[in-house]
Structure 1
Amino acid sequence: MSARRSGRIAAVAGSVLLACALVDGVGYTVVTVQDADRDPGKPTWKFPAAAEEGDKAKEDSASKSGLSALMLPFGTDGYERGPDLEQFGPDAEFSGAQATALRKESIKDLPSSSRRQLEKLIDKERIKGMAMRSYAVGRADYNVTDAITFGVTLSRLESRTAVRQSATSFNGFLAATDVFRKGPKIVGFKDAECFLSPKGEDEDLAVALCTGYVGDVLVSVTADAPDPIDGAFVAKFFTAQLDRIDDPGQAV
């Protein structure tokens, strides 16, 4: 592998991980949590259990936030079940407390000053619930020669202001880097944006990151496919997910 190609991969990976520390990136939070347990010299991080008995009613309410019902159904336009999100499978929903713990664990390796700032932002968001789902689209429905996978995270925050600020921060960060390219426009959702990894050689891993919101729900989509990634197809998927939240009765 050439130094240029290796540098490109490192730059993309680093930017993706840092960006996902700002907003829920499907898979990245979970993968980071799992990686934390692989060094026997480190203390084992445990996923927070359901609420204690005294908080059970509150926790049950949070865990039944209905976010999974707002996901695009499997089978829609060839969107089938994707790879497991580690121990959680391809489809998972978390309470606010669990989602908050996952996000904080994902940034534990950042410098202490940055980590403390991000932890304060996470606490201010007051996450009420989070759902994650992964999809795979085969070659027959993508571009005949390749397949593409999508990871979707829906986060319900306490206020629409917090949702808007999170989406703006994420998109602003990616726009300010010199790594990602501006992606396709998302028709009908002026505050939703997509960014694409820099063009590489055929069959290099390409990434698309899309973020937007509908009401109090923050929507994050990560797509992975061999280069060149089809931005129009990514935009179609992202738009369909946003439309689904706008009109939850469709495509049930």
Structure 2
Amino acid sequence: MIRRILLFALAALLVLGLAGGGLLYTRTVVDGADLAAPVEHGVEELAGASHRGDDGRSYPRGRDHTELSALLLPVPTAYHPGPDIGEWGNDAEIPGEEATAILKDSVAEMPREFRKEFHDYADGLKLEGVALRSYASRNHSFVAEISITAYGSDQGAADHHDRLSGLAGELDLFREGPTLDDYPDALCYLQPQGEELLRFLDIDPADVDLSEMPEPELDSLWCSVPFGPYHVELEAYGVLPLAKKPITGLLTDQLDHLEAPGTFI
């Protein structure tokens, strides 16, 4: 039962703001989209998303009016605000109670016994809030989405990181991603490819005519990092070959910013 719970926890990180552009592209293709027009799901088409706050004001480097939002990396000069992350826009903060409710809603269709166990698990996370921000490279090669989840303790953040990264390894679907020299606790995985990707999307490869699927044009990278009472997640997606060095550089900048908020230029 606990493995199923953790699987939903891994899926729920997408619900909490990591949009999974590469996975979205593949899902659209296998569901019968126009195979001749993959650019409709590329990062270039996402660059015009709104970066205005709820008050209508523009925040070109990101909002910093709350303690949690100030911990997010301001949009660097080599980037501009990225696409909206789900219903929350591209620069948002979700209160802990709402984030917990979102996690619980993710298993609404599961049997009652499972829902109760998962709800207890979600309550035990003691989420205090989630800050979300997206970044788009100016050359349109990739989009990165960063979330910072605040927990009540260092142990809570570390435990959740261990569970998510442990499950990602256990599933044996993801490709090993790059490492961060300055932050050895960071774990990164690249999205599955081929039949493994279809299985990850809960699609039986036998139901898909693989000969009609185009060669992949996008790739996706997910990273998880515990940082004191915070859990940092990054998902980046972009055209092949994915620009791993700039992406891990962005994550390193985010972690450096957490070391000393307000000093990043």
Normalised TM-score (structure 2): 0.66
Instruction: Report the CA distance between 1:84 and its aligned residue.
Output: 1.2
Alignment match, 2:102: 102
Distance, in Å, in 1 between the alignment partners of 2:73 and 2:13 is 24
- Taking a change above 3 Å as real, the CA distance of residues 88 and 223 of structure 1, as seen in their structure-2 partners, is same
**Mapped partners of 1:224, 1:114: distance in 2:** 32
Structure 2 gap segments, 5+ residues each = 1-6, 21-64, 195-213
1:69 aligned onto 2:60: no
Partner residue of 1:239? 252
Counterpart CA distance in 2 for 1:162 and 1:67 is 17
Indicate the SS of the match to 1:223. Answer: strand
Equivalent positions of 1:1-40 (< 5 A) are 19-21=10-12, 25-28=16-19
Aligned to 2:150: 156
Aligned-partner Cα distance in 2 for 1:246–1:24: 27
Contact 1:199 1:228 in 2 (8 A): no
Query: Contact 1:93/1:132 (CA < 8 Å) preserved in 2?
Result: yes
Structure 2: distance between partners of 1:118 and 1:23? 17
Distance 1:23 1:226, change over 3 A: closer
Match of 2:242 among 229, 234, 240: 229
> Is the CA contact (8 Å cut-off) linking 1:22 and 1:118 kept in structure 2?
no
Shift of 1:112: 4.7
Q: 2:178 and 2:101 mapped to 1: Cα distance?
A: 33
1:195–1:114: structure 2 CA closer, same or farther, 3 Å change rule? farther
Deviation for aligned residue 1:113: 4.6
Q: Which has the higher contact order (CA 8 A, sep 6+)?
A: 2
Task: Give the secondary structure class of the aligned counterpart of 2:147.
Answer: strand
- Equivalent-residue separation in structure 2 for 1:24 and 1:186 (angstroms): 26
Encode CA deviations 1:103-147: one digit per residue, 9 max, x unaligned: 2223334555544333222101111111111111122xxxxxx52
CA shift for structure 1 position 163? 0.5
Q: Which amino acid aligns with 2:258?
A: I
Q: Structure 1: which 5+ residue stretches go unaligned?
A: 1-15, 30-63, 140-145
Q: Which residue of 2 aligns with 1:192?
A: 186
User: Cα offset for 1:23?
Assistant: 8.3
CA contact (8 A) 2:149 2:230 kept: yes
Q: What SS is found at the alignment partner of 2:143?
A: strand
* Alignment map for 1:130-169 (pairs within 5 Å): 130-139=130-139, 147-169=141-163
* Counterpart in the other structure of 1:58: none
CA distance in 2, matches of 1:205, 1:138: 17
* Aligned-pair identity (%): 29
Instruction: Give the SS at the match of 1:83.
Output: coil
CA distance in structure 1 between the partners assigned to 2:8 and 2:126 by the alignment = 22
Q: Secondary structure at the match of 2:121?
A: helix
- Does the residue aligned with 1:152 lie in a helix, a strand or coil? strand
Does structure 1 conserve the Cα–Cα contact (< 8 Å) formed by 2:16 and 2:99? no
Q: Does the 8 Å CA contact 1:23/1:167 hold for their aligned counterparts? A: no
Offset of residue 81 of structure 1: 0.7
Cα RMSD after superposing both structures: 2.7
1:24 Cα deviation from its structure 2 partner: 7.0
- What TM-score do you get using the length of structure 1 for normalisation? 0.69
CA contact (8 A) 2:136 2:143 kept: yes
How far residue 188 of structure 1 moved from its aligned partner, in angstroms, is 1.9
Contact 2:16 2:102 in 1 (8 A): no
Structure 1, residues 48-89: CA drift from partner, whole Å, max 9, x if none?
Answer: xxxxxxxxxxxxxxxx86111011112x14221111123321
How far 1:204 moved relative to its partner? 2.5
